[in-house]
């Protein structure tokens, strides 16, 4: 393994779009218009008897339109991310957005025709669809729960000023909340985002004060917010259970994630059984902080942190080495991001904050943006985003419609890359303080992503039932406290204001049952990592194959082929065993 020198640079977008004006750019627009016009011209030929050759021609046009649209759409987003105040980039994005929306409306008829087609005709055409089968099947997944056209129209029409309006009001109302708290002898008026930064403050009294203020404000409006939730849940039930005949409220989400109900039930049950694991960690954290018992306020309290920093070149080599030790192919893919100038790692004024990876097209090296500042966290972020890029490159044999992995699988390569880095860092690190910091950060992340999110969904399941039975908002709050008591056991002291936490979680309003996708993704990777630890080399080709599927099959099918049963408790338990090992090591460092 060679050690290369890497510098923090800006990226180049030339591979995505050679120019923003002039003949090459005009040609792209002309090609796009021509493909859309050809698709439109074929509209009259659409019928259940459509020949497979004709269908393939339609799909080729659909792919061409998606490819050219992605070039323009991704370019405008990435250009603006470089400098969020750039007036030219803003104007370009506005123009592209308008153009792409118009084109999308012109081609919408094709998707609608496909969704509406009878099953026999669809099966005949699917058999000739090659790599696009899963994409096409996904469009039809909701067909058994689709109502007649006039009924669907009425639902859409009434939703705009019904449940969608209610959600709008919830957001407008809660986004306007201001929180007053005294910090450093000064009374500050803060937004929720500004307030919750202090959940990681080293001072215990500040952490307590911000949580008390947060839920004081939500409790004041608790009846109104709780009533909004009741309406949202009743609307969910009357539409999805009564009219669309889903088996249960959560089945709606499971179908859109394409994960079997049984697998989600097992996942949530295994999370529940592992609550004592994190309780053990919270006890340990209380010891480190010199407390008898951790308060709920202290969950994210910082440990005395080491001030170790990593120069960018060292970080890049660490990430590449950790990937390369696992699979040289993965490291080679990650190197492509550096070599192609597709990594924007500099810190610049007006550059977008945070980090992301944009896999624009199959076969094009993805673009990665990070704001690298040299902390251990930044190295993990670099590994995470390069993991996404590697995933995109591994799936480059698929079409533009199938190479993006579906939501539950989207973090498979990114979190796995973080795990590989974690092992690498620990192998090289003998300072107990640094080891503790690295491991504790991973366990903190696992708590927030796996356990907390699973308990949100466990609450939602109960809440939908209670509301169906006609229970009050107070009954929901009491049930929420019971949910927290189960999650934290004797390890964490809960104060009463947390009974209002549920009315402050936008996800359970906006996208019911969404949160388990976080638990699924993170635990999946930990469970895979467990298999790697147990099997060594023989695991690697199976893992690479999972990545190479991209989004061309359902999560259950992809994992089934890798010998993984997502409805098996033992598989999910494997993920918790990795966390248990980390906690065991932390106990020896205490």
| Interface ranges with Zn ion (CB under 5 A) | 414
Residue among 36 and 81 whose Cβ is closer to Zn ion? 81
306 CB burial (10 A radius; 0-12, 13-18, 19+): middle
- Is the Cβ of residue 268 or residue 415 nearer to Zn ion in the bound state? 415
Shortest separation between residue 411's beta carbon and Zn ion, angstroms: 5
What is the bridge-based pairing of β-strands 343-344 and 294-295? unpaired
Q: Assign residue 50 a region: left if phi > 0, alpha if psi is -120 to 50, beta otherwise?
A: beta
Nearer to Zn ion, 414 or 531 (CB): 414
Closer residue to Zn ion, CB minimum distance, 125 or 395 = 395
Q: Smallest distance, Å, CB 28 to Zn ion?
A: 29
When the beta carbons of 103 and 525 are compared against Zn ion, the nearer one is 525
CB 389, min distance to Zn ion, A: 11
Q: d(Cα 61, Cα 527) in Å, to the nearest integer? A: 40
Q: Closer to Zn ion by CB, 64 or 405: give it.
A: 405
Q: How far is the CB of 383 from Zn ion (least distance, A)?
A: 11
Q: Compute the distance between CA of residue 443 and CA of residue 580 in angstroms, rounded to an integer.
A: 9
Q: Which residues 6+ apart lie within 8 Å of 87 measured at CB? A: none
| Least distance CB 410 / Zn ion (angstroms) | 7
Q: Which CB sits closer to Zn ion, 69 or 412? A: 412
How many whole angstroms separate alpha carbon 473 and alpha carbon 229?
A: 9
- Write down the least CB distance from residue 255 to Zn ion, Å: 24
* CB of 219 or CB of 448, closer to Zn ion: 448
String of DSSP letters for 241-303? IIIT--SSHHHHHHHHHT--HHHHHHHHHHHHHTHHHHHHHHHHHHHHTT-SSEEGGGTTPPP
Question: Least separation, in Å, of the C-beta of 414 and Zn ion?
Answer: 4
Q: Distance of alpha carbon 195 from its chain centroid, rounded?
A: 24
Pick between residue 319 and residue 473 the one whose CB is nearest to Zn ion. 319
Alpha helices of 395-505 — where are they, by DSSP H? Answer: 412-428, 432-446, 452-468, 473-488
Rounded distance between C-alpha atoms, residue 154 and residue 255, angstroms: 23
CB 356 → Zn ion: shortest distance, Å?
A: 8
Write down the least CB distance from residue 452 to Zn ion, Å. Answer: 17
21, burial (CB in 10 Å: exposed 0-12, middle 13-18, buried 19+)? exposed
We find the least distance from the C-beta atom of residue 508 to Zn ion, in angstroms, to be: 22
What are residue 366's phi and psi, to 5 degrees?
-65, 160
Q: What is the C-alpha to C-alpha distance for residues 297 and 503, in angstroms, rounded to an integer? A: 18
Whether residue 65 contacts residue 39, with contact meaning beta carbons closer than 8 Å, is answered with: yes
Rounded to a whole number of angstroms, the minimum distance from the CB of residue 391 to Zn ion is 10
3-state secondary structure 29-85: HHHHHHHHHHHHHCHHHCCCCCCHHHHHHHHHHHHHHHHHHHHHHHHHHHHHHHCCC
d(CA 487, CA 272): 8
C-alpha 561/C-alpha 540 separation (Å) is 14
Nearest approach, Cβ of 427 to Zn ion (angstroms)? 24
Query: How, if at all, do strands 356-358 and 492-493 pair?
Result: unpaired
Q: In the bound complex, which residue of the shown chain has the CB atom lying closest to Zn ion?
A: 414
In terms of C-beta density within 10 A (0-12 exposed, 13-18 middle, 19 or more buried), how is residue 349 classed? exposed
User: Closest CB to Zn ion among 302 and 354?
Assistant: 354
To the nearest whole angstrom, how small is the minimum distance from the Cβ of residue 334 to Zn ion?
A: 15
Judge whether 365 and 340 are in contact, CB under 8 Å.
Answer: yes
Q: Which is nearer to Zn ion, 155 or 448 (CB)?
A: 448
Nearer to Zn ion, 414 or 519 (CB): 414
Task: Compute the distance between CA of residue 142 and CA of residue 68 in angstroms, rounded to an integer.
Answer: 28
Q: Give the SS3 label for residue 312.
A: helix
Give the shortest CB-382-to-Zn ion separation in angstroms.
12
* Contact by Cβ (8 Å): 232, 167: yes
Q: Distances in Å between the alpha carbon of 7 and those of 11, 316, 317, 341?
A: 12, 9, 11, 11
- Nearer Cβ to Zn ion, position 258 or 418? 418
By C-beta, is 122 or 421 nearer to Zn ion?
A: 421
In this complex, which beta carbon is closest to Zn ion, that of residue 237 or of residue 358?
358
Nearest CA among 175, 159, 174 for reference residue 232: 159
- Let me know: does 496 contact 211? Beta carbons within 8 Å: no
Q: How far is the CB of 413 from Zn ion (least distance, A)?
A: 9
């Amino acid at each position: 393994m060679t050690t290369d020198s890497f510098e923090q640079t800006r990226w180049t977008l030339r591979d995505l779009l050679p120019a923003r004006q002039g003949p090459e750019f005009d040609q792209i627009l002309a090609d796009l218009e021509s493909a859309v016009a050809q698709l439109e011209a074929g509209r009259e030929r659409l019928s259940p008897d459509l020949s497979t050759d004709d269908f393939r021609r339609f799909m080729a046009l659909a792919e061409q339109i998606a490819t050219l649209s992605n070039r323009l759409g991704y370019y405008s987003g990435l250009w603006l991310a470089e400098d969020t105040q750039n007036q030219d980039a803003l104007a370009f994005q506005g123009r592209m957005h308008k153009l792409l929306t118009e084109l999308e409306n012109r081609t919408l008829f094709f998707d609608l025709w496909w969704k509406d087609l009878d099953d026999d005709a669809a099966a005949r055409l699917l058999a000739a669809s090659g790599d696009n089968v899963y994409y096409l099947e996904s469009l039809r997944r909701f067909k058994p729960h689709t109502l007649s056209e006039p009924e669907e129209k009425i639902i859409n029409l009434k939703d705009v000023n019904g449940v969608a309006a209610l959600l709008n009001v919830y957001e407008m109302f809660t986004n306007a909340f201001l929180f007053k708290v005294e910090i450093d002898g000064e009374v500050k008026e803060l937004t929720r985002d500004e307030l919750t930064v202090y959940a990681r403050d080293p001072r215990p009294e500040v952490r307590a004060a911000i949580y008390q203020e947060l839920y004081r404000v939500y409790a004041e409006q608790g009846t109104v917010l709780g009533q909004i939730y009741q309406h949202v849940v009743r609307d969910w039930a009357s539409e999805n259970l009564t009219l669309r005949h889903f088996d249960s409220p959560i089945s709606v989400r499971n179908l859109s994630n394409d994960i079997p109900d049984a697998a989600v039930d097992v996942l949530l049950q295994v999370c529940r059984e592992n609550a004592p694991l994190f309780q053990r960690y919270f006890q340990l954290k209380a010891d480190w902080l010199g407390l008898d018992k951790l308060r709920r306020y202290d969950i994210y309290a910082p440990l005395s942190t080491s001030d170790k920093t990593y120069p960018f070149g060292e970080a890049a080599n660490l990430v590449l080495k950790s990937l390369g030790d696992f699979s040289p192919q993965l490291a080679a893919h990650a190197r492509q991001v550096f070599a192609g100038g597709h990594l924007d790692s500099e810190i610049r004024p007006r550059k977008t904050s945070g980090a992301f990876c944009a896999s624009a097209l199959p076969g094009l090296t993805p673009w990665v943006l990070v704001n690298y500042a040299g902390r251990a966290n930044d190295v993990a972020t670099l590994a995470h985003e390069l993991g996404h890029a590697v995933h995109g490159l591994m799936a480059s044999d698929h079409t533009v419609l199938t190479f993006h992995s579906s939501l539950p699988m989207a973090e498979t390569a990114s979190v796995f890359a973080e795990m590989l880095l974690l092992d690498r860092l620990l192998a090289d690190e003998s300072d107990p303080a640094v080891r503790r910091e690295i491991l504790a950060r991973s366990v903190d992340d696992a708590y927030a992503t796996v356990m907390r999110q699973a308990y949100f969904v466990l609450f939602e399941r109960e809440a939908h039932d209670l509301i169906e039975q006609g229970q009050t908002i107070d009954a929901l709050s009491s049930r929420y406290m019971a949910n927290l008591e189960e999650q934290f056991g004797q390890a964490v002291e809960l104060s009463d204001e947390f009974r209002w936490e549920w009315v402050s979680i936008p996800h359970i309003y906006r996208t019911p049952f969404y949160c388990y996708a976080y638990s699924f993704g993170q635990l999946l990777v930990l469970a895979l990592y467990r298999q790697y630890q147990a099997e060594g080399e023989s695991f690697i080709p199976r893992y690479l194959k999972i990545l190479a599927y991209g989004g061309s099959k359902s999560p259950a099918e992809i994992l089934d082929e890798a010998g993984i049963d997502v409805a098996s408790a033992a598989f999910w338990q494997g993920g918790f065993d990795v966390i248990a090992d980390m906690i065991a090591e932390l106990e020896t460092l205490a």
